[in-house]
A and B are shown apart, each in its own frame.
Chain A
């Protein structure tokens, strides 16, 4: 059993705060993705778990053991680095067996485990090669193989796919997911790519400026972001934000975006939104929730018309950029339903998926 517990974890580099008192419980065999922009503290957190950085304050527990003062070699943790960090002077086999050899594992046992890992990763024919004779994707596999053979309590990934080209990245992403399904173990995966986090993780941890903004399943992150940051970070293309005002209207509430554009708020949110009537607020809606005009299947589906500014065909859908007031927003339509640039087009917005954000606290209300 190896759950990881971070308690009030701080990291200072001289005066710079990299991690500011975070708390996190990671369950046994859970796949956790730490995601956030560069400098948000996600890699620092990972390196503290690995033992490569000292912990300024707070504790880290791995499997019921506080490991603050345990040197990395005794933590039983394996890490896959962004630049693979293979030992260039060793063959693939030696790279993979290095950790086992240091732990004085019997030779035939090493052989068995390396072969097994090589089978999982499809690198059986490469065992005698040197790292420099391998392609980027193969190196990535070896780096993972080196971690798998050790059968560690915890796997750490530090942006393992960011050095690969786009196609290979998608392929290896699936590969990592498969491997985790086969080799059950606790995984902490650091990435700045929210798509990677969404596709791989059981739960996502969004970090920003050294603190945890939100923890949740990929669905929760997408459907119910709790802060402006999470709302803007998760989802691609990212959510549209428009200044708005909440108004009382016909016994319900309405969201006023411009002088002549306002939408009725979903009826079930009356209590939630009524304290904000009259205040300047932010209205958030994802591009996929504004489409070309469709039949209304829900009462929250509302129509409006706007001029097309730019079209971006993506194949399956076309991104249509329109202006609402002074703000340009992105909408997502079926390719055959879009108007030409400069011409008016009818849209349907699904207000059930709207978010209301208090710009002062930057919280979703």
Chain B
């Protein structure tokens, strides 16, 4: 609501000058419009509070000393000072920076590259090519996406063990690079299928007449036009890989091969002992990359999701 911000801050100049030099006295912003703008912001406040509160607690707890955390007479909502001991602990006593963070990064990048490349080609084929059974394929991809991960990991263990007989991937993050695409490729395919369908066929046909082969038209014309959709697929893929817990929990026991999500809950929770400060510090650092990516690419994200809704 761009007008609301303008009206709330109050446009300073009461008079404007028209292109013919005449003075124009600006009308006052009607009270109802100011009220409406104020109401919009007030309505948003509870949600903003609700959404940001966990981050706040995470951050505030991570900079307290253990003593302060455990002292129940202190308010949990403030910190009295800034302590870095939990961040130091993560760096020195756990594999957080050396292994978990790096592993997560490698897995995320590899999985995203694989899923988005394969998913893009599949989506293009399902959206554009006319061949026998194309609709059945589309539905099949969708059904694959519907099978819950919590059921799928059991047969996948068997798959990994079988592959491990030839290539050692068990108990390494390679098993994740292999298994994450099983849920990401269907997802990316479905997302991009919808996007490709919004790209006018004529533009592609024009590329053929201009001298492109089908692949040429795909890379020179269709993919550049699909960038918002592809960015959206990349963002989703990054988020889902980065946050994935179940497969990495099941497939990896070796501490040096763990990703952040598993490392944190297996190494910083020992039985009934919670290393609250380090736990919160790890969660906070783990969340920062995702927040940053969304901050930079939010526009792509929304345009990719709502493409074709209106034209």
Contacts and interface: CB of A to CB of B under 8 A. Distances in A.
B206 interface: yes
B208 A71 contact: yes
B200 A85 contact: yes
Contacts of B220: 98
Given A85-B202, A103-B211, 10 more contacts: A52-B208, A83-B202, A85-B200, A85-B206, A87-B206, A87-B207, A87-B221, A99-B211, A102-B211, A150-B210
Interface string A121-156: 000000000000000000000000010001000000
A73 B206 contact: no
B224 interface: yes
Interface of B: 200, 202-203, 205-213, 216, 220-221, 224-225, 227
A359 interface: no
Given A52-B205, A87-B221, A102-B216, A73 B200 contact: no
24 contacts: A50-B205, A52-B205, A52-B209, A71-B213, A72-B205, A72-B209, A73-B211, A73-B213, A75-B209, A77-B209, A78-B209, A82-B202, A83-B200, A85-B202, A85-B206, A87-B203, A87-B207, A89-B227, A98-B207, A98-B220, A99-B210, A99-B211, A146-B206, A150-B210
Nearest to A80: B206
Contact of A86 (B203, B209, B213): B203
A225 interface: no
A43 B108 CA distance: 48
Interface-central residue, A86, A87, A150, by most chain B CB under 10 Å: A87
B2 to A, nearest CB: 20
A73 B207 CA distance: 8
B198 to A, nearest CB: 12
B215 to A, nearest CB: 12
Contacts of B225: 87-89
A102 B205 contact: no
A78 B209 CA distance: 6
A356 interface: no
B200 A102 contact: no
Contact of A50 (B203, B209, B211, B216): B209
A89 B210 CA distance: 16
Interface in A37-58: 50-52
A79 interface: yes
A273 interface: no
Counting contact residues on chain A (CB < 8 A from B), the size range is 20 to 34
Contacts of A86: 203
Contacts of B207: 87, 98
A82 B220 CA distance: 22
A99 B211 CA distance: 6
Given A87-B221, A88-B225, A89-B225, A81 B212 contact: no
Contacts of A75: 209
B297 to A, nearest CB: 18
A79 B213 contact: no
Nearest to A86: B203
Nearest to A47: B205
A82 B203 CA distance: 11
B27 to A, nearest CB: 32
Contacts of A83: 200, 202
A62 to B, nearest CB: 13
A44 to B, nearest CB: 14
A81 B224 contact: no
Contacts of A52: 205, 208-209
B197 to A, nearest CB: 15
Contacts of B213: 71, 73
Contact of A102 (B202, B212, B224): B212
A89 B205 contact: no
B282 to A, nearest CB: 41
Given A87-B221, A89-B224, A102 B210 contact: yes
Given A87-B203, A89-B224, A102-B216, A79 B209 contact: yes
Interface in A61-105: 71-73, 75, 77-79, 81-83, 85-89, 98-99, 102-103
Interface string A212-256: 000000000000000000000000000000000000000000000
B204 to A, nearest CB: 8
B39 to A, nearest CB: 35
A77 B206 CA distance: 10
A9 to B, nearest CB: 19
A33 B275 CA distance: 80
Contacts of B208: 51-52, 71-73
A82 B212 CA distance: 20
A231 B211 CA distance: 41
Contacts of B200: 83, 85
A73 B209 contact: yes
A344 B208 CA distance: 63
A77 B210 CA distance: 8
Nearest to A147: B209
Contact of A98 (B202, B205, B210, B227): B210
B139 to A, nearest CB: 21
B205 A85 contact: yes
Instruction: Please give me the 5 A-B residue pairs with the lowest Cβ-Cβ distance, nearest first.
Output: A99-B210, A85-B202, A102-B211, A72-B208, A89-B224
Contacts of B227: 89
Nearest to B202: A85
Contacts of B205: 50, 52, 72, 79, 81, 85
Interface-central residue, B200, B208, B209, B212, by most chain A CB under 10 Å: B209
Contacts of A51: 208-209
